[in-house]
Amino acid sequence: MIEKTSLCRLPAEWEPQSAVQLTFPHKDTDWAEILPEVMPCFVKIAQTISQYQPVLILSPEVDETRSLLEVDNNSNFHLVKSASNDTWARDHGGITIEENGKAVILDFVFNGWGLKFPSDKDNLLTRHLYEKGVFNAELRHGGIVLEGGALESDGQGTLLTTSECLLSPNRNPHLSKGEIEAYLIHCFGLKQVLWLNHGYLAGDDTDSHIDTLARFCAADTIAYVKCSDPSDEHYDALQKMEAELSQFKTLTGTPYRLVPLPWPKACFDEAGNRLPSTYANFLIINGAVLVPTYDVPQDEEALHIFKALFPDREIIGIDCRPLILQHGSLHCVTMQYPANVVNLV
């Protein structure tokens, strides 16, 4: 537990990073039937990130994974043999805070998004990495059920999240909204928590993770998904979410600059189920932003918007159509660690 006298901060994603974690799919995950389709997507994400910074890759089959990645002695890849249930590193990965100027990794409980899916192996992965000497930081138990995809930080004391996720009865039923907020404020050194009560994506298993809906791009800027089609099932909820966002204020008391992201043409699986495609699931890394694309007409517009949002970073589109077949996207399969946190020596 964090000491009451400590000064804590939850860094923003755009701050310098030491590595990004990916937990690779394998034959014992839900990807088993479509491994040939999804594996190139994971490889593409890893190879792209490696051009800018180290990549921490967890896999039960490190030799096979190393071969797929075409690892050489000068690469930025660091592979760790690890058993896993699934691949969603954003939610089973450690969450790094800064406490009195030093990094601390918080290992929260991951219970398969409210007991929906097996998570016994995934819940042990952060501890496993720590015991392997991967982290150049103290590891501490987070104390509650919490996933990284539920948190958006501006690095200055503001947290953006959703009530649908954090108040799920299968996560922390013993805590009220006020108690959860107080815990987050204490844990992350927050000055304000902004709760979205509306917004969802069909096909999403996470109970409306914030990283599928609205994201900080700077301390005063939020990019969010916007649906302008009244006939779409998302229209009402996302219109209400937009209204909520317009009422939020920065720590200086000014409204946020809100940047709407395109609404991608609906994607479906072979059974006709709608898939959760969203441009909000982008990943910021050192010198670049990786943007999920879905082979739809709106991809080009989305990339153009991100170029304006991040003029000092390269904007790279990654085809994530295979990822949404298991109801997640690019940000969901990655977890960044701030500078000097991951020890790859």
Question: Can you tell me the distance from the alpha carbon of 176 to that of 242, in angstroms, rounded to the nearest whole number?
Answer: 25
Question: Can you tell me the distance from the alpha carbon of 223 to that of 187, in angstroms, rounded to the nearest whole number?
Answer: 25
| pLDDT, tens only, 138-190 | 999 999 999 999 999 999 999 999 999 999 999 999 999 999 999 999 999 99
Does the pLDDT of residue 227 top 90, yes or no?
yes
Q: How confident is the model at residue 234 (pLDDT cuts 50, 70, 90)?
A: very high
The three-state (H, E, C) secondary structure of 182-219, written as one string:
HHHHHHHCCCEEEEECCCCCCCCCCCCCHHHCEEEEEC
Question: Can you tell me the distance from the alpha carbon of 92 to that of 145, in angstroms, rounded to the nearest whole number?
Answer: 10
Q: Average the pLDDT over 240-259 and give the result.
A: 98
Q: How confident is the model at residue 74 (pLDDT cuts 50, 70, 90)?
A: low
Mean pLDDT of the chain: 96
Question: Which is it for the CA torsion 300, 302, 308, 313, positive or negative?
Answer: negative
Question: Can you tell me the distance from the alpha carbon of 109 to that of 173, in angstroms, rounded to the nearest whole number?
Answer: 14
| pLDDT, tens only, 253-281 | 999 999 999 999 999 999 999 999 999 99
Bridge-based pairing of strands 102-109 and 95-99 is: antiparallel
The residue ranges of every structural domain in the chain are 8-338
Does the pLDDT of residue 344 top 90, yes or no?
no
Does the pLDDT of residue 4 top 80, yes or no?
no
Q: Average the pLDDT over 133-140 and give the result.
A: 97
Question: Can you tell me the distance from the alpha carbon of 250 to that of 252, in angstroms, rounded to the nearest whole number?
Answer: 5
Question: Which is it for the CA torsion 123, 203, 22, 157, positive or negative?
Answer: negative
Record the tokens describing residue 268, joined without a space.
């479906």
pLDDT given for residue 70 in this prediction = 85
Q: How confident is the model at residue 1 (pLDDT cuts 50, 70, 90)?
A: very low
Q: What is the pTM of this model?
A: 0.96
- Name the one residue in this structure whose structure tokens are 């948190």: 151
Question: Which is it for the CA torsion 232, 233, 235, 241, positive or negative?
Answer: negative
Record the tokens describing residue 261, joined without a space.
């992201």
Q: What is the CATH number of domain 8-338?
A: 3.75.10.10
Rg (CA), the chain: 19
